[in-house]
Amino acid sequence: MTDISALEGDLIARIAAAEDDAALEAVRVHALGKKGVVSELLKTLGALSPDERKTQGPAFNALRDRVAEAIGAKKHALGLAVLQRRLETERVDVTLPAPAFAFDPNAGRIHPVAQVTDELIAIFADMGFALAEGPEVERDDYNFTLLNIPPEHPARQMHDTFYLNARADGSRPVLRTHTSPVQIRTMLSQKPPIRIIAPGRTYRSDSDQTHTPMFHQIEGLVIDESTHMGHLKWVLEEFCKAFFEVPNVTMRFRASHFPFTEPSAEVDIQCDRSGDTVKFGEGDDWLEILGCGMVHPKVIANCGLDPEKYQGFAFGCGIDRLAMLKYGLPDLRAFFDSDLRWLKHYGFGVLEQPSLAGGLTR
Query: What residues make contact with ligand DAH under the rule CB under 6 A?
Result: 178, 180, 219, 258, 261, 291-293, 314-316
Helix axes 229-244, 319-327, angle to 10 degrees: 40
Q: How far is the CB of 292 from ligand DAH (least distance, A)?
A: 5
Q: How far is the CB of 281 from ligand DAH (least distance, A)?
A: 24
Closest to ligand DAH by CB, 123 vs 314, is 314
Nearer to ligand DAH, 243 or 315 (CB): 315
Q: Which amino acid is at 179?
A: T
CB of 227 to ligand DAH, least distance (A): 13
**What is the spatial distance between Cα 24 and Cα 71, in angstroms, rounded to a whole number?**
7
User: From the CB of 81, what's the least distance to ligand DAH, in Å?
Assistant: 57
Q: Which is nearer to ligand DAH, 134 or 354 (CB)?
A: 134
Residue number, 161 or 270, with CB nearest to ligand DAH:
161
Q: Report the number of secondary-structure helices (H) and strands (E) in the chain.
A: 12, 12
Of 67 and 184, which CB lies nearer to ligand DAH in the complex structure?
184
Say if residue 99 is preceded by a cis peptide, omega within 30 of 0.
no
Cα distances (Å, whole numbers) of residue 119 to 70, 113, 114, 199, 217: 59, 10, 9, 11, 14
Q: Smaller CB distance to ligand DAH: residue 199 or 316?
A: 316
- Whether 202 and 219 have beta carbons less than 8 Å apart is answered as no
212-246 burial by CB neighbour count: b if 16+ within 10 A, else e? beebbbbbbbbbeeebeeeebbebbbebbbbbbee
Nearer to ligand DAH, 180 or 311 (CB): 180
Task: Work out how close the CB of 242 gets to ligand DAH at its nearest, in angstroms, rounded to a whole number.
Answer: 19
Q: Which residues, including other chains, have CB under 8 Å from residue 65's CB and lie 6 or more apart?
A: none
**Could you give the C-alpha distances from 261 to 231, 291, 306, 314, in angstroms and in order?**
15, 10, 16, 8
According to DSSP, the β-strands at 137-138 and 130-131 are unpaired
Q: Determine the residue with CB nearest ligand DAH.
A: 316
Residue 228 C-beta: closest distance to ligand DAH, Å? 14
Rounded to the nearest whole angstrom, what is the least distance from the CB of residue 211 to ligand DAH in the complex?
12
Cβ-proximal residues to 171 (8 Å cutoff; 6+ apart), any chain:
139, 140, 141
- Smallest distance, Å, CB 291 to ligand DAH? 3
The nearer residue to ligand DAH, 74 or 204, going by C-beta atoms, is 204
Helix 50-89 × helix 4-17 angle, to 10° = 10
